[in-house]
Structure 1
Amino acid sequence: MKKSRKNQVPAVSIIDLNGDDWYVGEGAHPTAWLPARVPGNVQEDLWRNNKKPDPYFGENAAEYRDTEKKFWSYKKAFMFAPGKNELNWFLVFDSVDYKADFFLNNEKIGSHEGMFSEVRLAVGHALTSGCNEVKVVIHPLAFAPHASRAHINKYCLHRHDGRWMAKSLMSFDWDFAPRFVPTGIWKDVRLEGKNGVRLHSPRVDMTFNSDHSSVDLVFLADADVFEHNDYTVRLSLYEGTLPRGKTGGPKPALRLEAPVSLNAFNNEVKLAGAFKKPKLWWPLNMGVPFLYTAEMTIRNRRGEVDTIRFNVGLRSFKMIRSPADSQAALPLPSPALNNETVMAVNGRAFFYKGVNFVPMDILFGRIDNARIKTQMDLVKDANIQLLRVWGGGIVNRDYFYELADQYGILIWQEFPLGCTDHEGNPQYRDILGHEAGAIIKQLRHHPSIALWCGGNELFQPQSGMAPFDRIIRMLGAISYECDPERIFFPSSPYPGALHGPYTFDMHGAGLHGGSVDHVQYCNDLPNGAYNECGISGAEHAWLIEKCLPKDEIWPPAPKGSWEFHKGFNAWQKGDSWMCLALVEKYFGPLKDLADLCRASQFLQAIGLQYLCEELRRRWPNITGSMPWCFNYPWTTVAGSDIVAYPDVPKPAYFTIQKTYAPLAVSA
């Protein structure tokens, strides 16, 4: 698997600990071990070793519920030769899910809780020359009591189990995913040796003049200081992207250098300078997403100590008042309904053409760079400019954001909160605060990151939260402290925006009280932006046949695998997401699965086309379109996705591709 190394080029010494030579066993002190893969998940290893059935088929995912309540242990032996240089050695896990203790040669070296932040453990004292063994003990999940302030019903009951974990809530059952809660070492592992300083978490602050012909730049990075000393830090900014692993380049477009004295109380490096005639980074179809390569090197009198390299896109991003908001000043203040919702890049306001994006798999360890490349190529080819990385999901591998930088795709990144009440637990709040800071520092140098958002639908009745809750205020404060130039939204939808509609004919939603024709509903859309909207449709017949037992494939029924794979009783009680009665309303009786899928997908495609074209026609009164949803993490029988699991476009994908083209004709 090709790796993305979080800005390290190259470290003084790295020993890759990924691979198929790990072992996993049940309990904190297993008596039996199974072959395991890292990155991966405990649940996938059980499946691969025939201890559990295929979780993507039938109702098999339910058979993994017992794995949530057990200890699991990983182990691996590796060889180590210290070499001549005295380095500071660290065992580094890019992410571990969820709570774990870590051992090296039977000595406990640390503990961690949280799904997304890096685990970095000093191990120089525990390493031996020759064979070493690392062991990781994953704890059972500790579920939260149900939220007292939230509106509890059958369709959001289980997600409250995870409300006090900094973990993907999608895993606790959603209208497009089963109750399937993975654990394990789901990102890369390595042994890393460093000299006196480790540079990490770069940030670039930019202040442009009025016409973007010049920019004042401030480059910052955090420093882990192992040797208090006087250093020199140099920043070289090269045009274009340099091949991975290559340091240096042609003459830099900008070079900055300054002395710095680093110690335990001063652990940030900072360089500032003006840059004229910058080549700007633009979103897809608005210009070239031009990238520079920044190379930051720190040296002492003995030579180079550490170097990091990262992409830089020079661009401004703002949310501004809608050009359509020309109303006269009111005699008394009133809530904003359509204000401050327009995105502007480099001073140019635009109608954003986006989609929502969820995890690519229910087993997060399976999401490798190849899967990411396939999905991001599909995003780019569909003319999509903005991805909302939904708060019930995950923080993706860095390669996801690197491709977004290269392709000109803006990222609306949400923190791991959604659709439940996250207040009430100080220990969870502390863990979430640490995770949020780590997420921001991991991603903040990417020009594709447009904004941070507290989470999904936090202020709805099923969640029970409010904008002034302590967790929301904490996330805003952390965002400002770690990345003061970027926007922070408390939650989506924000004032003036809406989530919905979700089906071809709306029933008791939005403007109308009863069943409403799709065209009428779209023509009456009142809000300024639509950050979730979509139409459900069946998946491809051949995909449904792969995930359902043969004796259940036809006819569809609101039970068994059809219900388990979200065809019925998924979002609301009854016929969602299959919408069988709706399809038969327009096409009459359906003779088989292929007939059903063709008709349903046709309704989804034309419905989404009309909806998104109407949103686009209404610019600047409506400022953006963001259908739910681009992808799904497993095979449902029906849903609002336009790319079926794992990466198969549905007809609706091609209508979005056409509707989002730079020039689209509609009537």
Structure 2
Amino acid sequence: TSTKVNDKTVFELSLSSETVAPFVVLDFKANSGIRAQFLENGFFIFSGKKTIKMQTESKITEKDIKDNLTIKTLTDATVPGSIYSDLRREQVLKQDLFFENNDVNYRWVAYDNWTYERTFNVDANIISKKYVNLLANGIDTVSSVYINDQLIGKTDNQFVRYVFDVKKVLKSGQNTIRLAFQSAPIYAKQQSDDFKKKYNYTVQPECNPDQYHGECHFNFIRKMASSFSWDWGPAFPTEGIWKPIGIEAFDKLVIRDITVETTPDQKNNSFWDLTVHIKMESAPNQEFEGIFDIKLDNNVIIKKDKLKFKTDEQGYAGVAFIILLRDIKITPWYPNGVADNTQKLYDLNVELSFADSKEVSTQTKKIGFRTIKLIQNPIKPEGLTFYFEVNSKPFFAKGSNWIPTNVLMEDITPEYLRHLLLSAKEANMNMMRVWGGGVYESDLFYQLADEYGIMIWQDFMFACALYPANKEFLDSVQKEVITQVRRLQHHPSIAIWAGNNENEQGLVGWWKPRLPQYDADYRTLYVHTIGKILDTEDGTRPYVSSSPSNGLESIKENYTAQNPEDSRYGDIHYYSDGSRLWDWTTFWSPKFASEYGFQSYPSMDSLSEAFSAKELVFPLTPTVQHHQHKWNEDETIVQQIRRNR
């Protein structure tokens, strides 16, 4: 049956199965020309019939649907993973995602609402615990979560760790969990439309440039921005469970995070002080008396104490210990190639136990002893320095920017990560900037950076856009920032936090007219929200509100400098496409170049993976140019070849 809704036709499709049909995928034949969105896809038919709604702008009949609809049953979904890799594995997506125009050909996947569902068994011992939670470390992105058909919570931020109370809905034996995802591009558009209707102004930009072949309103969903496309990559706005998920059960409380401060003794810098902050979670307003054992390397107990504490109204509690290390010779941590070139890491183990219970909660982190300072001192004839000191030793930052190494996080292997970071070390790099349009990287990434002495300039995940600053959005950002800062703070490799990528620059020069509300929203997000959280959560490293910015000079101008890329201050992003790039005299002389580069053609090996042989001709075919997202296509590359041949 069909009905008209605005300019779209909505069909109801009735499906039936005589047996259980797990993960049913609906699509249309590639040559049918039918473009449609299934409002539910990847569903189960347990028995009998299932009704699915589909909407389309195509002028089609019910006969067209029956003749061209394809139905495939998948056996498994991979977790962690995403819908694209599941459909690729099951040959629903038959070609490589990056082959020719498949970023657009496979966009239907992003427009559908997919459902992940499975059964699992729970032991009676788990059910007997006082507190039972579903712990989801990463959901991408907008979903409703059900256990045994009861809604236990919703998600809307890829970068937040979610904890849902499931004590009352779980049962001993077999249970069912279902995550019903919503299309990310469609959700983002709806959020943008609702915002404009409520607040009567537009948050720029609404869409990426046409050359990106991407999706709009990435600034209205807390998700990897570049999954909506970027100038360097395609759009694959995924849905799925991208980090581990599971059940936790306990009677007392659990340690959630550990953060640290390492400080050399003022009188004798061969001695160090270690402050350990322990973040815990249980039910709200509960009193506890816990026994804390803190060990450093080789199980050496450096602190043992019994403390009374109470959870707050949200169920969180925190304690801190300042430990004077006078009997342990500490080897300081340094970046690659600096000073003693040592990347000594220590195992810090925190164990929480109770006199009236056998329950124990424990966490171990690898930490390094080091201090970090950003030096911004006046220099003549004008300007400020902008460099880092580690353990009071200045160092020259050498490195590059880090974008996601794959559009699908599950395709990034530990071996590949280790290869890239080890290559950076062996190329004598000592710093990388994790760019703000991707993701907060994996635990392994930062562990390897610690191990190899690669300092990290860490952007928060906001890039090349203005963002809303309404309460709902800021509440989500607050959870995100606390989640990520507490997860990452203990890593000695992280040198600096930066609020965003190029948003101060964009606010000043890109989007017209420049509404006063834009400036107010900018400060609300990066100064009064993120900056304020960092004041509380991490006072051990510097924070700049944007990259590029003029550092202290931007602050003097109320965080929005007239020229955020003034080479006399702060950091710059250097792209001088019109210059003769082999002529070093054309380069700027900034205080710190945190991003720079130019575009070149990839190797023939890479091109051969993405295009059939008939496309690899010159002049470049439209299919090859489809992958060129730069606003002036190949003009800059051709100019550089002519200048430098």
TM-score range, shorter chain: 0.7 to 0.9
Please give the alpha-carbon distance, in whole angstroms, between the structure 1 residues aligned to 2:425 and 2:349. 28
Q: Give the aligned partner of residue 102 of structure 1.
A: 145
Q: 1:453 to 1:466 in 2, by over 3 A?
A: farther
Q: Give the aligned partner of residue 320 of structure 2.
A: 270
The answer as to 2:79 corresponding to 1:38 is yes
Q: Give the aligned partner of residue 572 of structure 1.
A: 631
- Given the alignment, which residue of 154, 160, 168 partners 1:125? 168
Residue range with higher mean Cα deviation, 345-354 or 467-476: 467-476
Please give the alpha-carbon distance, in whole angstroms, between the structure 2 residues aligned to 1:522 and 1:444. 40
CA displacement at 1:455 relative to structure 2: 0.9
- Given the alignment, which residue of 592, 596, 609 partners 1:546? 609
Residue range with higher mean Cα deviation, 404-413 or 208-217: 208-217
Please give the alpha-carbon distance, in whole angstroms, between the structure 2 residues aligned to 1:190 and 1:57. 35
Letter of the 1:166 counterpart:
R
- Given the alignment, which residue of 419, 424, 431 partners 2:476? 431
- Given the alignment, which residue of 398, 405, 426 partners 1:360? 405
The answer as to 2:123 corresponding to 1:67 is no
Contact 1:22–1:74 (8 Å) recurs in 2: no
Please give the alpha-carbon distance, in whole angstroms, between the structure 1 residues aligned to 2:127 and 2:139. 30
CA displacement at 1:530 relative to structure 2: 0.7
Please give the alpha-carbon distance, in whole angstroms, between the structure 2 residues aligned to 1:131 and 1:366. 31
The answer as to 2:379 corresponding to 1:337 is no
- Given the alignment, which residue of 564, 583, 596 partners 2:641? 583
Q: Deviations over 1:376-406 (max 9, x none)?
A: 2222222221111100000122111112122
- Given the alignment, which residue of 250, 262, 276 partners 1:219? 276
Please give the alpha-carbon distance, in whole angstroms, between the structure 1 residues aligned to 2:460 and 2:245. 23
- Structure 1 residue matching 2:446: 3-state secondary structure: helix
- Structure 1 residue matching 2:503: 3-state secondary structure: coil
Q: Deviations over 1:33-56 (max 9, x none)?
A: 523211111122222222234211
Q: 1:230 to 1:46 in 2, by over 3 A?
A: closer
Please give the alpha-carbon distance, in whole angstroms, between the structure 1 residues aligned to 2:172 and 2:180. 24
Contact 2:580–2:586 (8 Å) recurs in 1: no
Q: 1:268 to 1:424 in 2, by over 3 A?
A: closer
CA displacement at 1:212 relative to structure 2: 3.0
CA displacement at 1:420 relative to structure 2: 0.9
Q: Give the aligned partner of residue 599 of structure 2.
A: 536
Please give the alpha-carbon distance, in whole angstroms, between the structure 2 residues aligned to 1:442 and 1:106. 32
Spell out the pairing of 1:504-523 with structure 2 (5 A cutoff).
506-507=577-578, 516-522=579-585
Spell out the pairing of 1:169-248 with structure 2 (5 A cutoff).
169-210=225-266, 212-226=269-283, 228-239=286-297
Give the unaligned 5+ runs of structure 1: 1-20, 240-248, 329-335, 508-515, 588-667
Give the unaligned 5+ runs of structure 2: 1-20, 26-37, 46-72, 197-201, 551-568
Residue range with higher mean Cα deviation, 117-126 or 383-392: 117-126
Q: Give the aligned partner of residue 161 of structure 1.
A: 217
Please give the alpha-carbon distance, in whole angstroms, between the structure 2 residues aligned to 1:250 and 1:45. 43
Q: Give the aligned partner of residue 251 of structure 1.
A: 300
CA displacement at 1:69 relative to structure 2: 2.8
Q: Give the aligned partner of residue 292 of structure 1.
A: 346
CA displacement at 1:138 relative to structure 2: 0.7
Please give the alpha-carbon distance, in whole angstroms, between the structure 2 residues aligned to 1:101 and 1:45. 20
Please give the alpha-carbon distance, in whole angstroms, between the structure 1 residues aligned to 2:114 and 2:642. 49
CA displacement at 1:438 relative to structure 2: 1.1
Q: 1:499 to 1:522 in 2, by over 3 A?
A: farther
Higher relative contact order (CA 8 A, sep 6+): 1
- Structure 2 residue matching 1:179: 3-state secondary structure: coil
Letter of the 2:217 counterpart:
D
Please give the alpha-carbon distance, in whole angstroms, between the structure 2 residues aligned to 1:524 and 1:78. 60
Letter of the 1:76 counterpart:
R
Letter of the 1:535 counterpart:
F
Please give the alpha-carbon distance, in whole angstroms, between the structure 2 residues aligned to 1:50 and 1:321. 55
Q: Give the aligned partner of residue 561 of structure 1.
A: 623
Please give the alpha-carbon distance, in whole angstroms, between the structure 2 residues aligned to 1:84 and 1:72. 30
Please give the alpha-carbon distance, in whole angstroms, between the structure 2 residues aligned to 1:371 and 1:104. 36
CA displacement at 1:360 relative to structure 2: 1.2
Q: Deviations over 1:398-431 (max 9, x none)?
A: 1111121222221111111111111354322222
TM-score normalised by length of structure 1: 0.74
Contact 1:502–1:536 (8 Å) recurs in 2: no
Q: 1:235 to 1:312 in 2, by over 3 A?
A: farther
Letter of the 1:406 counterpart:
E
Letter of the 1:554 counterpart:
V
Q: Give the aligned partner of residue 260 of structure 1.
A: 308
CA displacement at 1:264 relative to structure 2: 3.8
CA displacement at 1:343 relative to structure 2: 0.5
The answer as to 2:410 corresponding to 1:351 is no
- Structure 2 residue matching 1:272: 3-state secondary structure: strand
Q: Deviations over 1:621-661 (max 9, x none)?
A: xxxxxxxxxxxxxxxxxxxxxxxxxxxxxxxxxxxxxxxxx
CA displacement at 1:564 relative to structure 2: 2.2
The answer as to 2:368 corresponding to 1:310 is no
Please give the alpha-carbon distance, in whole angstroms, between the structure 1 residues aligned to 2:127 and 2:221. 41
CA displacement at 1:133 relative to structure 2: 1.6
Please give the alpha-carbon distance, in whole angstroms, between the structure 2 residues aligned to 1:156 and 1:209. 53
Q: 1:316 to 1:112 in 2, by over 3 A?
A: same
Q: Deviations over 1:519-558 (max 9, x none)?
A: 545455232111111233222211111101221111242x
Q: Give the aligned partner of residue 327 of structure 1.
A: 380
- Structure 1 residue matching 2:474: 3-state secondary structure: helix
Letter of the 1:39 counterpart:
P
Q: 1:89 to 1:556 in 2, by over 3 A?
A: farther
The answer as to 2:555 corresponding to 1:492 is no
Letter of the 2:91 counterpart:
N
The answer as to 2:459 corresponding to 1:414 is yes
Please give the alpha-carbon distance, in whole angstroms, between the structure 1 residues aligned to 2:425 and 2:217. 36
Contact 2:157–2:480 (8 Å) recurs in 1: yes
Letter of the 1:269 counterpart:
V
Letter of the 1:427 counterpart:
E
Please give the alpha-carbon distance, in whole angstroms, between the structure 1 residues aligned to 2:324 and 2:431. 30
Q: Deviations over 1:40-75 (max 9, x none)?
A: 111222222222342111111112323333211001
Which structure would you say has the larger Rg?
A: 2
- Structure 1 residue matching 2:77: 3-state secondary structure: strand
- Given the alignment, which residue of 115, 122, 132 partners 1:80? 122
Please give the alpha-carbon distance, in whole angstroms, between the structure 2 residues aligned to 1:226 and 1:316. 36
Please give the alpha-carbon distance, in whole angstroms, between the structure 1 residues aligned to 2:44 and 2:485. 40
Spell out the pairing of 1:606-617 with structure 2 (5 A cutoff).
none
- Structure 2 residue matching 1:427: 3-state secondary structure: helix
Please give the alpha-carbon distance, in whole angstroms, between the structure 2 residues aligned to 1:584 and 1:462. 30
- Structure 1 residue matching 2:625: 3-state secondary structure: helix
Please give the alpha-carbon distance, in whole angstroms, between the structure 1 residues aligned to 2:309 and 2:319. 9
